[in-house]
Amino acid sequence: MIVQAASKEDQTRLVDDVRKHGTSRRTPTVRAVGLIAFVALVAALPVLPIPEFWITQAIYIGLYALVALGLILLTGIVGLTSFGQAAFVGVGAYTTAFLTVGYGISPWLALLVALALTAAVAVILAWITLRMSGHYLPLATMAWALSLYYLLGNIDALGKYDGIVGIPSLSIPGGPALDTGRSFYYLLWGIVVLAALAITRLLDSRVGRALRSVKGGTTMAEAMGVDTFKAKVGAFVLAALLAAISGWLFAHFQRAVNPSPFGLNKGIEYLFMAVLGGVGHVWGALAGAGLVKFLEDRLRELLPALLGSNGNFEIIAFGVILILVLQFMRDGVWAFIDRRLPRQMRAIDWRAADPLARRVQPARGETVFEARDVRKEFGGLVAVNDLSFSVRAGEIMGLIGPNGAGKSTTFNLVTGVLRATSGEVRFGGQEISRCASRSIARRGMSRTFQHVKMMPTMSVLENVALGAHIRGHATGLSAMLRMDRNEEKRLMKEAHRQLERIGMSALMHERAGNLALGQQRLMEIARALASDPILLLLDEPAAGLRHKEKEQLAEVLRQLRTEGLTILLVEHDMDMVMRLCDRIVVMEFGTKLMEGTPTHVQADPAVQAAYLGTEH
Ligand SMILES: Nc1ncnc2c1ncn2[C@@H]1O[C@H](COP(=O)(O)OP(=O)(O)OP(=O)(O)O)[C@@H](O)[C@H]1O
């Protein structure tokens, strides 16, 4: 991962800032004022003396924003692309149209049916495609959008391409009818604001961190105990449900449906809204929906006048705008605004929280880990050749060898990233050779990566809190309802404690991507420690560090050993390995060359030859 180190002044400023203001400073008020102003404007709009046209426009923006919100979660947060959101809007719209017009069912009951149907379709699509890597999901969503469009247009009971008319307007059960634009507006925007709030809360939670960790690869997330498949399916279903709610509202607002607004074109337009608005931000959905609606209207007037003929020219203009946005405002309009707003700092509200329960550590000297004749073949290449070694509680075991010796492969076999061709890996007395990474993490093995893997746009504290994922239980729903705060405080307290342990708590509010490489490596160690591991695996933690940073790292590792932690260390810096490790396994060409104390290893002619490249 390419990361930009913050300038020395930036870091000093940040640390000073935190010290001066105390770490419990609240977010500056510009954001809060902006939020209040926005909600006030949304609430006041219908009572202002403005033409009905503007209310209708605001309703369309709200309908679009609901769909775009789902895409923020799916594309911006989890990193999946869907061209099929318009089709989910169609499921919501057609289900309610069919049931309310054909069978006189209450629209609210029809909403439940629409949501159930949408969830079923989304789960099936996600289940089939997300197990496969590559572009299967985007392709499947395209196929889904195309097939639903033609299906709707060819079913007699759904009125073919003419659709269904005479859909009743909504009314609050036992309350008023929402049959005017202004009354409908309140229901719709109430739902939009609630959905935006729910997604914001979700992102600021244990499940939210897990969802964000999935973007850009699953290895790190799985190593933190996150079920990445479940996270992806969950995000896909939630995005589909938001689209279906938009469709349900759309049908009762328009009072008629036909297949055209639910085709692939519209699916692309929804994606365009999310990207234009800023796919990484909840506000991006609102900005994108507003901008696209505005552009749509302007272009529909302007383009025919300019070009002298009628047609769907705005699609071409959208394409050009998208290219320009991707070129000059890659993260969307909201990211551009967000960068200019005061940085958000989390208030420290966890001091009084109960600490998380700790694992019982094995007695010093007990064998915690064992590899027995572990072998890994890549085609004809034997990367790890019947390797056996064990690690005892409370020691630092080094795993060294020249480039290509098989150390990283061994690491991946041990942590469940790769499956061994043969042999056995045991941890805590149990066989784990067939276990997935996340299940190994739950058993008490935690790791760092040769190339730092983190969430660069999230704070250092949040990155470290991800490490404690397996120690929490709060669900996404409880996060949306803010019923997870007690556990969240405990997780944050743990993350803070681990940052203090490695001497980095002053940087906890900094964006992880702004840290220098040495600090990022230390942050990874804090993250691994937050899982309360029995065995800590460090993959070349000193790579790329300067002398002083290496000294700091060595000091941290010594301290951890004193506290009784067991460490398996892969490292190229021989000086560090020899000074730190209790025992060392030396590998060459996938085979164990020898095992012993640093003194033995250093004196061994075969080891010297392996490193110097001479015959032995
Ligand atoms: N996925 C893979 N497919 C094919 N060959 C692989 C794969 N992963 C590793 N190898 C090969 O296995 C051998 C061992 O590689 P590995 O990365 O484990 O060595 P290493 O000791 O970690 O090296 P380094 O110190 O350079 O990281 C190398 O020859 C490498 O090319």
Between 179-183, 266-270, 367-371, 427-431, the lowest mean confidence (pLDDT) is in 179-183
CB 433 within 8 A of CB 508: no
406 lines ligand 1 (CB under 6 A): yes
Same domain, 282 and 385: no
pLDDT tens, position by position, 391-437: 999 999 999 999 889 999 999 999 999 999 999 999 999 999 999 99
3-state secondary structure (DSSP) of residue 544: coil
pLDDT band of 10, cuts 50, 70, 90:
very low
Same domain, 299 and 386: no
Rounding to the nearest 10 degrees, give the CA dihedral for residues 159, 165, 166, 170: 110
Distance 248 CA to ligand 1 centre (A): 53
Instruction: For a ligand 1 pocket test, name from 374, 377, 378, 451 the mutation site with the most ligand atoms within 8 angstroms of its C-beta.
Output: 378
**Ligand 1 atom closest to Cα of 376?**
12
Distance 384 CA to ligand 1 centre (A): 9
Helical H segments across 329-436, by residue range: 332-340, 407-414
In a domain, 191, yes or no: yes
Number of domains in the chain: 2
Is residue 502's pLDDT more than 60? yes
The β-bridge relationship of strands 445-447 and 591-596 is: unpaired
ipTM value for the complex: 0.96
pLDDT tens, position by position, 435-494: 999 999 999 999 999 899 999 989 999 999 999 999 999 999 999 999 999 999 999 999
Rounded Cα gap, residues 452 and 219, in angstroms: 12
Buried b / exposed e along 458-489 (16+ C-beta atoms within 10 A): bbbbbbbbbbbbbbbebebebbbeeebbebbb
CB 167 within 8 A of CB 38: no
What mean pLDDT is predicted for residues 319-335?
85
In a domain, 15, yes or no: no
Instruction: For a ligand 1 pocket test, name from 382, 400, 409 the mutation site with the most ligand atoms within 8 angstroms of its C-beta.
Output: 409
pLDDT tens, position by position, 280-307: 899 999 999 999 999 888 888 888 888 7
Q: Which two tokens stand for residue 69?
A: 């919100």
Instruction: For a ligand 1 pocket test, name from 374, 407, 450 the mutation site with the most ligand atoms within 8 angstroms of its C-beta.
Output: 407
Q: Which two tokens stand for residue 100?
A: 């309310």
Is residue 7's pLDDT more than 60? no
Q: Which two tokens stand for residue 248?
A: 């349900």
Same domain, 285 and 206: yes
pLDDT band of 205, cuts 50, 70, 90:
very high
Which residue has the CA at smallest separation from atom 29 of ligand 1? Answer: 404
**Ligand 1 atom closest to Cα of 590?**
14
Is residue 330's pLDDT more than 90? no
Q: Scan for tokens 């109960």, then name that residue.
A: 354
Q: Scan for tokens 């027995």, then name that residue.
A: 372
Rounded Cα gap, residues 528 and 110, in angstroms: 47
Same domain, 93 and 235: yes
Which pLDDT value is given to residue 28? 54
Which pLDDT value is given to residue 1? 33
Rounded Cα gap, residues 359 and 557, in angstroms: 20
Distance 378 CA to ligand 1 centre (A): 9
Which residue has the CA at smallest separation from atom 16 of ligand 1? Answer: 406
Which pLDDT value is given to residue 133? 65
What mean pLDDT is predicted for residues 182-193?
94
Distance 406 CA to ligand 1 centre (A): 5
In a domain, 516, yes or no: no
Which residue has the CA at smallest separation from atom 1 of ligand 1? Answer: 378
Supply the mean pLDDT for the chain. Answer: 90
pLDDT band of 612, cuts 50, 70, 90:
low
Taking residue 321's Cβ as centre, other Cβ atoms within 10 Å add up to 17
Q: Scan for tokens 């009784």, then name that residue.
A: 564
In a domain, 25, yes or no: no
Where in the sequence is the domain holding 93, given as residue range(s)? 55-340
Same domain, 376 and 289: no
Which pLDDT value is given to residue 122? 95
Which CATH number covers residue 539? 3.40.50.300
Same domain, 421 and 562: yes
E strands, 502-544, in order:
535-539
> Of 271, 305, 340, which residue constitutes the final position of a domain?
340
Q: Which residues have C-beta within 8 Å of that of residue 436, sequence separation ≥ 6?
A: 222, 416
Which residue has the CA at smallest separation from atom 11 of ligand 1? Answer: 383
CB 262 within 8 A of CB 93: yes
Rounded Cα gap, residues 385 and 68, in angstroms: 51
Which pLDDT value is given to residue 315? 76
Q: At what angle do helices 460-467 and 517-529 cross, to 10 degrees?
A: 40
In a domain, 333, yes or no: yes
Rounded Cα gap, residues 336 and 174, in angstroms: 45
Distance 518 CA to ligand 1 centre (A): 24
What mean pLDDT is predicted for residues 351-377?
94
Same domain, 298 and 167: yes
**Ligand 1 atom closest to Cα of 410?**
18
Same domain, 115 and 202: yes
Nearest 5 degrees, angle CA 175-CA 181-CA 182? Answer: 70
Instruction: For a ligand 1 pocket test, name from 374, 376, 381, 449 the mutation site with the most ligand atoms within 8 angstroms of its C-beta.
Output: 381
What mean pLDDT is predicted for residues 251-263?
96
Distance 554 CA to ligand 1 centre (A): 26
In a domain, 468, yes or no: no
Taking residue 306's Cβ as centre, other Cβ atoms within 10 Å add up to 10
412 lines ligand 1 (CB under 6 A): no
CB 110 within 8 A of CB 103: no
Distance 217 CA to ligand 1 centre (A): 19
In a domain, 117, yes or no: yes
Same domain, 80 and 219: yes
Between 62-66, 413-417, 497-501, 547-551, the lowest mean confidence (pLDDT) is in 547-551
Distances (CA, A) of 507 to 21, 197, 459, 572: 14, 28, 9, 28
pLDDT band of 558, cuts 50, 70, 90:
very high
Helical H segments across 161-263, by residue range: 181-203, 206-214, 219-223, 228-254
What mean pLDDT is predicted for residues 30-55?
90
Distances (CA, A) of 303 to 273, 276, 294, 300: 20, 20, 14, 6
Is residue 13's pLDDT more than 60? no
CB 437 within 8 A of CB 447: no
Q: What is the DSSP string of 261-313?
A: GGSHHHHHHHHHHHHHH-TT-HHHHHHHHHHHHHHHHHHHHHHHHHHSS-SST
Same domain, 331 and 374: no
Which pLDDT value is given to residue 18? 44
pLDDT band of 344, cuts 50, 70, 90:
confident
Report the chain's C-alpha Rg in angstroms: 28
Which pLDDT value is given to residue 601? 92
Q: Please, what is the end-to-end C-alpha distance for the chain in angstroms? A: 38
Same domain, 333 and 381: no
In a domain, 371, yes or no: yes
Same domain, 85 and 206: yes
Which pLDDT value is given to residue 374? 96
Rounded Cα gap, residues 468 and 464, in angstroms: 7
Distance 514 CA to ligand 1 centre (A): 30
Is residue 17's pLDDT more than 70? no
Greater pLDDT, 216 or 68:
68
Distance 409 CA to ligand 1 centre (A): 6
pLDDT tens, position by position, 572-610: 899 999 999 999 999 999 999 999 999 999 888 888 887
Categorise residue 110: left if φ over 0, alpha if ψ from -120 to 50, beta otherwise: alpha
- Polymer length in residues for the chain: 616
Q: Which residues have C-beta within 8 Å of that of residue 27, sequence separation ≥ 6?
A: 342, 344, 345, 347
The β-bridge relationship of strands 396-400 and 566-570 is: parallel
Which CATH number covers residue 238? 1.10.3470
